[in-house]
Amino acid sequence: MQILGIFAFIFALLFSVMVHEFGHYLTARKFNMRVSEFFLGFGKRIWSFRRGETEFGVKAIPAGGYCRIDGMTPDDEMPEGESGRAFYSATSGKKLIVLGAGSFLHFVLGYLLLFILLSGVGVNQVLPVIDKVAANSAAAAAGFEKGDEIIAINGDRSTDWQDQLNKILNSEGRELTFTIKRDGVEQDISAAPRMTDIEDGTSRYVLGIVNEFGTKRLGILTSVSSAAKLTWSFTTASVKALIQLPTKIPALWGQTFGGEKRDENGLVGVVGVARVSGQAASSGDLSPSERIGTFILIVASLNIFVGLFNLLPILPLDGGHMAVAIADEIRALFARLRGRARPAAIDVKVLTPITAVVFVILAALTVLLLIADIFNPISLNL
């Protein structure tokens, strides 16, 4: 089962790469740019076919993929009569759309996965169904029974149990009217929560019930908004992670070569995420729906993080090329204000030394993460 989870993650990762590149492909074709290749993988060509001017296929090394848009720099050769379709000659606005389309689809894919999780698979949460009634409690005195489903408090039929729980906690001992469903029939029961000492040393108003815990699917409309909120939450968490990334590298070095315990909230590479996916798939403590839900959360969060990471304004990432396109427009604006002709677009080849340095740094971090994930892996104890 663990191997199945790892292979499922690899498939999901390759699918995400294909979706990313498909974003570039669709927008490039929309703006009549020439796309000569669309491949999954790198290295030796295994299989391909041609449709129009584009060759689609699979290569030997499944470590990503690419969409080749011709004419990325002025030195790139274009077929005769096709120079006007070069990426380099497009307007900055079109360049930004094409470059940003890959990351945009990562966010779309992450949102759709979260929507499927909420509406189709369901999420674990406290249910409004009573599992146990405490003896000598307000609930026992009022006549609550195991299996009763609380569907409203004081007429409020909120489906969020936390909202309903807050009504009990903030009741200050006032009598509340609970609408319950028992044996398929709705009825009202009145009860006044009592101030009770809790095991953690605090005191609060409680009813004296223990709720069931289980998987619950949300309605379609609720899932639409909840998935959007989750996507935003994952995005802000990814921003914080990217900001903190440089500060976590020294700790990762110590965890890799110094024998220190791996930080569950630290940096993790693709191999580590694949291992965690395998753990989730093989965990005997999780139900089938929980395993699927955990896997979907992993893939959704990964897509959102990768989409955001790829927008960083550094070459060779798409965000770096977008920064160049924005710089072109700033230069054009200043030229226009001075009454001068629009300057030629920036040739990214001029920035090759910077690109090379960034590539080496990213490659070194990838290797470090690979070693850490193999020899000192993160375990979620699932």
Amino acid identity of 29?
A: R
- Mean pLDDT over the full length of the chain: 88
Please give the Cα distance from 5 to 144 (Å, whole number): 43
Tens digit of each residue's pLDDT (9 = 90 or more) over 187-200: 999 999 999 887 77
Nearest to 102 by CA among 11, 22, 29: 22
Position 381 scores a pLDDT of 53
Return the beta strands (E) in the chain as ranges.
Answer: 35-51, 54-69, 123-133, 149-153, 176-182, 185-191, 194-197, 203-206, 209-216
Task: Please report the domains of the chain, with CATH numbers, ordered by start residue.
Answer: 89-122+218-382 (no CATH), 124-216 (2.30.42.10)
Angle value at C-alpha 82, between 75 and 69, nearest 5 degrees: 60
Q: Does residue 382 have a pLDDT over 60?
A: no
| Average pLDDT rounded to a whole number, residues 170-193 | 92
Tell me the angle at which helices 2-30 and 270-282 cross, rounded to the nearest 10 degrees: 130
| Average pLDDT rounded to a whole number, residues 15-23 | 93
| Average pLDDT rounded to a whole number, residues 106-123 | 93
Tens digit of each residue's pLDDT (9 = 90 or more) over 262-295: 777 777 777 778 777 777 777 667 778 878 888 8
Q: How far is CA 117 from CA 27, 31, 216, 290, 297, in A?
A: 29, 35, 10, 10, 8
Please give the Cα distance from 177 to 168 (Å, whole number): 11
For the chain, how far is it from start to end, CA to CA, in angstroms? 13
* DSSP H or E run through 226: helix 220-257
Position 345 scores a pLDDT of 82
Tens digit of each residue's pLDDT (9 = 90 or more) over 221-264: 989 999 999 999 999 999 998 998 888 888 888 888 877 777 77
Tens digit of each residue's pLDDT (9 = 90 or more) over 46-94: 999 999 999 999 999 887 889 999 998 888 888 888 888 999 889 889 9
Q: Does residue 375 have a pLDDT over 80?
A: no
Q: Does residue 28 have a pLDDT over 90?
A: yes
